[in-house]
Structure 1
Amino acid sequence: MKKYIVFICSCIVLYIPLQLLSGWILTAFFVPDISSAINKASHEASFGQTSIIPFLTTLSIATLAYFFSQHLSITNKKNPVK
């Protein structure tokens, strides 16, 4: 169980900076459409919506990867390749 907690914590520690870096790069290379912005003349900003679903999906995939790797290591210990 301790290996699982260390694995999941390391995935979370790697996931958050990756998401921040991804958002920073996408923001840096975003080119707004000026012509449509002039026609709207709105002074409101919209930032979209946030969701926890991508994080939970990634956490689920990491959990499955951990259990598959544990299953494969047990199988390899029983039947070592020569």
Structure 2
Amino acid sequence: MKRYFIFAISFILLFLLFQVLSGMLLTFTYTPDVDDAWNMSANLSQEVIIKSSQSSFLLLLFIAFLSATIAYFISKKMN
């Protein structure tokens, strides 16, 4: 059971690290098109909707953790 907890904690830390690094890479390589955005702004709605995206990230983390757990136990059962 100790090996499972080490695996789970290292998986979560590596998953978070890769998420942050991929976000940084996408941010650094993104080049916005200001002219196109300005032309599209006339068609936008004037209503502001505030929505948190944290729940989707936690769901993604939970699904990844669950799949890693299942994969761990399947690989342990095969040996």
Name the structure where helix makes up a greater proportion of residues: 2
Please say if 1:61 is aligned against 2:67. Answer: yes
Counterpart in the other structure of 1:2: 2
TM superposition shift of 1:29: 1.4
Structure 2 counterpart of 1:7, one-letter code? F
- List structure 1 segments (4+ residues) > 6 angstroms apart after TM superposition: none
TM-score by length of 2: 0.73
CA distance in 1 between partners of 2:30 and 2:64 (Å): 25
Counterpart in the other structure of 2:23: 23
| Residue correspondences, number | 70
Query: Which has more radius of gyration?
Result: 1
TM superposition shift of 1:61: 1.1
TM superposition shift of 1:35: 1.8
**Which stretches in structure 1 are left out of the alignment for 5+ residues?**
74-82
**Which stretches in structure 2 are left out of the alignment for 5+ residues?**
43-49
CA distance in 2 between partners of 1:49 and 1:12 (Å): 19
